[in-house]
Structures are given as structure tokens and as C-alpha cells.
Amino acid sequence: MKNILNDILEILIAYKKIDVVELSKKLQISQVTIRKYLTKLESTGMVKREHGYAVLHNEDDIAGRLAYHYNSKIKIAKRAVELVKDGDTIMIENGSCCALLALELAAVKNNLTIVTNSTYIAKSLRQRQASFQIIILGGLYQEKSECLVGPMIRANAENYNVEFFFIGTDGYNRNSGFANKDQMRSQAVRDMANSCDKLIILTESEKFGLRGTIPLNIKNIPQILITDSKIPKDIFDELRQRDVQVITV
């Protein structure tokens, strides 16, 4: 199923909106089967259907960003799931790889406690996994990213101590390391990181060609990067020299 889902998403990324009949022809799959896959994608929020058309969600929103490099992101999420045991308490930050991690956790794990600043992740988990306890850190709501930021995050996060904190990133710089585009989201990550033993960075290799504007500046916490196998070798070697454990999928 995953390859067909990815094929549909790649077409939608190119066209933004496409007739279901045309999509069926392009993929040489029956319309009944196409609709089954579209229902799956619609449940994640990535795609919506309008009068016989499939429409990609607004790429500025987190649901829309899930569609980009979906195949790599889902592999990264599945690998990250292997670090988590039933009954664990973990933190998850907002981001597309993190959102897919949450969905994969809901599919295969039980009795987790998830501490998050993402209302998108909290909503997704509540719809899919009744055995999870969801704790949302309070703060200022950012509508497009569907997450909470601001000084209340730090005050709330100080009440927890977890082994793993899963985060995403918007880019990487050789001098300053991992970075985000948004100042308040970056600060939320720093504040939440004070409550973890290990920081797990989930990102597709494409991000290593981008330059985030706000360095995360998280130091003195063991870090694990999970990414795809297309990570440039020089960056792979550089991260290893900085004592970042690199896992490729």
C-alpha cells in the first residue's frame, strides 16, 4: 500500500488537484481501488476530496507537509518506533516526520504517555489509540503548524523527565548544526529538550541541503539522527565526529 500511497502523493504534489478518473488512468488502477487509497490519505489530512477530485492539502499547513517525501518520512518514522516500548513516556515535538511517527506509534504500540506541544499530533492520536495518555503542553497557539509555543512550554515541560524527545528540523548548517525557521518553535524545542535523556532528530536527507535560520543550539544531550540513506557522506562523517549517532533507513 505504501508505494501506491506515495505514487498518489507524488502526482498530487505535481498537479495539486486531479480528477479521480485521470488519477486511475495514470496509475492503471481501478477507480474503486483509487478511492480506497484516497480514503486512507484523507484520514491523515494530507488529501481531501471535492466532487470527484483529489486535492492536496495546503502545503503551508502541517497536514500538507506530510505529503512531501512521504516515502522517506514513513521509513524514518517506522525506524523511530523501534526505540519505543509499550508503556513508555516520551516527548514529541511538532513536525511532519514527528506526526507520522505518532501515527505509526498508534498502529503498533499500547499504553504510551505522549507529552507534546502539537495539537495536530494530540488529535491524531486520540482518534486512533484509546490506550494512550496524551499530555499537551500549554502555550500560544500557532494555527498553521497546529502547535503551542511560548514561555508556558518551559514551565510545563519542567514537570516531566523522559528518555526520548523526538523532534524534526527545517535545515542544517555546518557551523551551527540543526535549525528551524521559526524562532518560537526553536525555543519550544530547547525548552522541552531540558526534560529528556536523549534527543532523536527525525528528518529526510533533503533537509541537509536547506539552511534553517534559527539554530536549535541544543548541547550536552546525547543525540540520535534518523534519516534516509541519501544523506551526504561528508555530513554523515561530520555528525559522527560530533558524537551524533546516525541511523539511516
Strand partners, 84: none
Q: Which three cell numbers stand for residue 230?
A: 541519501
pLDDT digits (tens, 9 = 90+) for 109-165: 999 999 999 999 999 998 889 899 999 999 999 998 899 999 999 999 999 999 999
Helix axis angle for 2-15 and 20-27, nearest 10°, is 120
Domain boundaries, the chain: 2-57, 70-248
Q: Which three cell numbers stand for residue 225?
A: 539522527
pLDDT tens digit string along 181-216?
A: 999 999 999 999 999 999 999 999 999 988 888 999
Q: What's the CATH architecture for 70-248?
A: 3-Layer(aba) Sandwich (3.40)
What is the C-alpha separation between 155 and 148, in angstroms, rounded? 13
- Looking at domain 2-57, its CATH class is mainly alpha
The Cα 144–Cα 150 span in angstroms is 16
**Common-topology check for domains 2-57 and 70-248:** no
Q: Give the pairing type, strands 162-167 and 196-202.
A: parallel
pTM of structure: 0.87
